[in-house]
A and B are shown apart, each in its own frame.
Chain A
Amino acid sequence: MGQVGGTKAKRSRPSRAVKAECSCRDTSIAAEITLLMNTLRELAAIRSTAEDAAARILDSAENLLTLADKEEAKKAEEAILSIMTACGFDDLVGQRVTKITETLDRVIATRLTGEEPGRTPTTMPQSEITLEGPGLPGAKHDQARIDALFRKKN
């Protein structure tokens, strides 16, 4: 709450204008926090939906692999395995959602307290490792690059 001007020692109540301004600001911050919380709920829903979808796809793919007619299943095996590995989208969606959620948590905490919260980076003691999770599309995270790193002598 801001203080109203005046040189007298007597305590004065905030003016109506100041009260209105403070109220608007508080309402604005409260609305913003509500919006951010709703966004977090949406993100949780995305993760849940992705997980359910991946589980259903895997159910179907596993059933295909156990078809009574093994010959037919064998022909489709490569395609079925491709479907299964594609279900890894659920894991990557979850990791990206986690990154966004952590950022929003920090924003909410900052809005609530008015100060930057202490960061808790995912760092390992005794090392300089920081985890980034999935890279952005277009970033060089291909298997070939990593294989090349492994082929290098220490």
Chain B
Amino acid sequence: MALDPSMPVLVVDDYKTMIRIIRNLLKQLGFANVDEASDGTAALSMMREKDYGLIISDWNMEPMTGYELLREVRADDHLSRTPFIMVTAESKTDNVIAAKKAGVNNYIVKPFNAATLKSKIDAVFGDAS
């Protein structure tokens, strides 16, 4: 899948500030079609209504975490190929490996900068193309 800045992107995080930061960074990268969800349950519901080209999700949320969302997405035939980047403060090696095994495309640890977000998005679509 080629990188298309017009594709809808879904940002999932329970912190409004973080959503706002990521939205602004994506806007600077040319992504203007950005939706948001405050937890995995809301995100999954939105993903079943609309085709997203990229999911950027936090891990630690309730009632559904980003990890659980990732597993749900990968288990759904219609959603399973959706690129998924985890952006989280969770940095324990076991957790990173678990996310990788669950099929996350890339993993950004907070705090991060604009260059890191860009390089990880580029890497995801570069791998896919």
The number of chain A residues with a CB under 8 A from chain B is: 42
Decide if A132 is an interface residue (CB 8 Å cutoff).
yes
CB pair A133–B109 under 8 Å, yes or no, is: no
Chain A residues touching B, majority SS: helix
Which of A82, A87, A122 has the most chain B CB within a 10 Å cutoff? A87
Residues of B within 8 A of A95 (CB): 60, 89
Decide if B38 is an interface residue (CB 8 Å cutoff).
no
Quote the shortest CB–CB distance from A39 to chain B (angstroms): 23
CB pair A141–B109 under 8 Å, yes or no, is: yes
Interchain residue pairs with CB less than 8 A apart (17): A55-B17, A58-B20, A58-B21, A81-B28, A84-B24, A84-B25, A85-B112, A85-B113, A87-B20, A122-B60, A129-B67, A131-B65, A131-B95, A135-B89, A145-B93, A146-B107, A149-B93
Residues facing A in B15-34 (CB within 8 A) are 15-18, 20-21, 24-25, 28
| Given A54-B17, A142-B109, CB of A129 within 8 Å of CB of B98 | yes
